Structure 1
């Protein structure tokens, strides 16, 4: 039996709630791919975790006078609840502070790499805050990236995705604003230069987007860095080496190893294919650090990386006019998962940054209401009035049906391509779904006049059956994008949602089936 295709999404740091930018990044898109493959009968493992030991969690706790574990627990619960309400269904969400064996797993891999001399000690200058009496690393320090000049913290630059660590220009303490003073600090590093040839071969054989390919090539040209994998501190998984007992495993290293734990590696062989969803700012962890760790352990992982750019979000948006702002919980409550999922997929920041504006989200809901729900409402009303709520005993037909059926079959093939891992494009899928609904709605308008023929024949029933066939197909075709609405539509048609996305789904319910349309909208609310 082949191993399942492994899909991952970057573990979010539990220092705050999810906002719409998080959903527009890796999470909804990864769920779309997972749903399509499952419906197609392919084995899938969809995993993530929560980065409870991120430096930003400790910073948030110190600023609020709280314990880091309280911050991590509260936001972890909120994040997982938002995933659930968004229709994002993971097979495994790693809980670093609760999953049995997690700490031992992290430390064992760290020790293994240290024993192989892949992790080594280095003494280098590191910023130190004399006011806070604290080493400045990760979220504790801000400055300018030495590679691109963008404002960054001491982990990864969000603009160029390179590790920053101790190389920030003009570093200052994120807590008090004092300048960071350079001091000698002995820490543990994972040098990448000894793996140059293996990493170069890996990147050459990996399906990477152009911007990520450029990053990897520039790293090779500039000289592969030594990646810090531990730092002095109190929060996180302790470094399992005696001389560094007061150090903690770095959050980037932990998030990579967390993914392996989520897959169950150790008990299960590595998969034949892995697909990672992440923002570009986290691409270094997936494209560089993960293969480096596996190479150091003598392993290979065929992987693909789907990178999204930044989804620009103003977290004050909506506050002045009493709107729901940009937080996932508020938007899900106001607009529902169908509208929100469709919206972030339609504006997915692929290849360029996009931004969130509430008026555009309102328009997305209006499209669902004025097109999708309006057509379905007319169809259900016609079935109730003309057939007593029962599916008519007629073959799909009507004026223009054969041409429409051919176009719908092509649309199904387009959807399969847009949903599939080889040409994944959820924005295209949304456009095709809209085309399907608009075609069905126009077909219904054209054929409604069949009811008015004076001779009393029932020539309008084949057109009604044809539209029911389209509605039935949408219970599978729209399932990856809007699972909540697809499930409502399936319940109304007395069928099952989430079947394979195939042209053969274009079949009406059995004649005589009593429809049970919902009292409210089918898609969104």
Structure 2
């Protein structure tokens, strides 16, 4: 069985922040590592999202060309993934003749089949900037929930808009109120695809909040989606080169380009709730229209927002702690453990230094405990049956909780915070057992050897969560020289 795992392509308009890391990227890596540890075939992929309008928007502030912005931050993003131990089998860059041809073909096929239609529609236009306003160029309030939004989709309620219906619109570049002008664009009506979407929603494993978004959209007439805009950024459509393909329509083909080289049995997609409508509605609609059932996910793993001082981490607003700056200070083990422990799986969580300090103390305690285990003489063979009754009970608890930790890294019961909590509990059990073994004195050789087997099993179960530290701990189990630390910096 091959499990294909995807993580949402990030926009190269800034460095990856801790909120990004706590979302799809680490979580997908954990699942891929856990499947590999079980001897299963996993393919983990992502891409970059160069054609988002957030890239030229960032270039305005940096006084450079959008292409320079995309290249600079792409290098930073890829380097940060590597430093955090996030290993992808494939990263798709949305560039080059072959990629653009794929996107153009997708668009043309949907036009020829009648799923995409050209229409003249109103769109906000900034006269001062001579700029059509959509996506990152447009600000205002969501017509559905009233929250602050950009064009095309709302991050708060996860529902799309038509730009012309954004309330109190303004130009992001200059702040002026735009005028509405009619212009030719392309739309993808979703209502004709309702039956296929409802069948897909019923079959897909997804969080209740995302299912509620689907239900809310289905309760109304499913909307028309703008899939091209008059713009100078993005991939031109063959139908009209002055119109650029909507980047989220493009991404449906971007995911197809990430596919594993072998047939996959299931597709699991990781993304933030702000991208929920695209993954649960738009991409499935495109793949249903194109007759590509192999691109319909079996499971969505969705995170809510990781906040900083009560507000969402944001690259465009520069409200963030940059992972590239944090990793050299904290190390990959600590960043991974904290981001997974505080992962906002079902509700928003907040990054605080107090919480981070508590996570650091968890790793410190692990190091102290495991170093204590290896300091005990263990020349006798490990005989768990000969342990005192309370230590035998501890052994059963260790095995049960490590089994849960492994389960929480697998697709069926995926819960990284739960996995971290089980690991932390096991480390405490080993620490308590260590105190008892120390009290045994010279008669505790066999018991000390048993503790080492528990430490080995801990390291194996923890490997998807903290691969670097787990590898060092396993090496120590195999007789390698003791490092300065098993987990964190100071190795």
The alignment's C-alpha RMSD in Å is 1.9
The 1:89–1:134 alpha-carbon spacing in structure 2 relative to 1, beyond 3 Å, is same
The question of whether the paired residues in 2 share the 8 Å contact of 1:272 and 1:302 is answered with no
Q: Secondary structure at the match of 1:132?
A: coil
Work out whether 1:490 is the aligned partner of 2:474: yes
- 2:203–2:298 contact (8 Å) kept in structure 1: no
How do 1:123-202 and structure 2 match up within 5 A? 123-166=120-163, 167-202=165-200
**Equivalent residues of 2:269, 2:297 under 8 A apart:** no
Q: What pairs up with 1:474-489 in 2 under 5 angstroms? A: 474-489=458-473
Aligned residues: 478
Asked if the contact 2:12–2:73 (Cα under 8 Å) also holds between the matched residues in 1, the reply is yes
Q: 1:382-397 residue pairs with structure 2 within 5 A?
A: 382=376, 386=377, 392-396=380-384
Structure 1 residue 423 corresponds to structure 2 residue 413: yes
User: How far 1:97 moved relative to its partner?
Assistant: 2.2
2:331 match: secondary structure:
helix
Cross-structure match for 1:320: none
- For residues 342 and 268 of structure 2, the distance between their equivalents in structure 1, rounded to whole angstroms, comes to 21
Residue aligning to 1:438? 428
Instruction: Note if 1:304 corresponds to 2:299.
Output: yes
1:517 alignment partner in structure 2: 482
Q: Does 1:246 align with 2:242?
A: yes
Matched, 1:339 2:304: no
Q: Tell me, in whole angstroms, the C-alpha distance in 2 between the residues paired with 1:401 and 1:273.
A: 42
In structure 1, what is the equivalent of residue 224 of structure 2? 226
Q: Are 1:403 and 2:367 an aligned pair? A: no
Q: Does 1:255 align with 2:251?
A: yes
**Alignment partner, residue 467 of structure 1:** 451
* 2:139–2:170 Cα contact (<8 Å) kept: yes
C-alpha distance after superposition, 1:209-249 (max 9, x if no partner): 111111111111111111111111112111122xx111111
Q: Could you say what secondary structure the match of 1:175 adopts?
A: coil
Q: 3-state DSSP class of the match of 2:69?
A: helix
Q: 1:462 to 1:515 in 2, by over 3 A?
A: farther
Match of 2:77, SS state, is helix
Label 1:302 to 1:96 Cα distance change in 2 as closer, same or farther (>3 A): closer
Structure 1 103/366 Cα, relative in aligned 2: closer, same or farther at 3 Å?
same
After superposition, what is the alpha-carbon deviation per residue over 1:79-118, rounded to whole angstroms, capped at 9, x for unaligned?
11111111111111111125x6211111111111111111
How far apart are residue 147 of structure 1 and its match? 0.3
> Which SS does the other structure have where 1:101 is aligned?
helix
Q: So what's the TM-score if we normalise by structure 1? A: 0.88
Q: Does 1:116 align with 2:85?
A: no
Q: What is the Cα deviation at residue 180 of structure 1?
A: 1.4
What secondary structure does 1:66 align onto?
A: coil
Relative to structure 1, the CA distance from residue 302 to residue 48 in structure 2 (aligned partners, 3 Å threshold; closer, same or farther) is closer
Instruction: Give the deviation of 1:164 after TM superposition.
Output: 2.3
Asked whether the equivalents of residues 18 and 320 of structure 2 are also in contact (C-alpha less than 8 Å), the reply is: no
Deviation at 1:483, TM superposition (A): 0.5
Q: Is the 1:212–1:283 contact (alpha carbons within 8 Å) kept by the matching residues of 2?
A: yes
Give the 3-state SS of the residue equivalent to 1:289 in structure 2.
helix
Point out where structure 1 has 5 or more consecutive residues left out of the alignment: 318-323, 452-457, 495-513
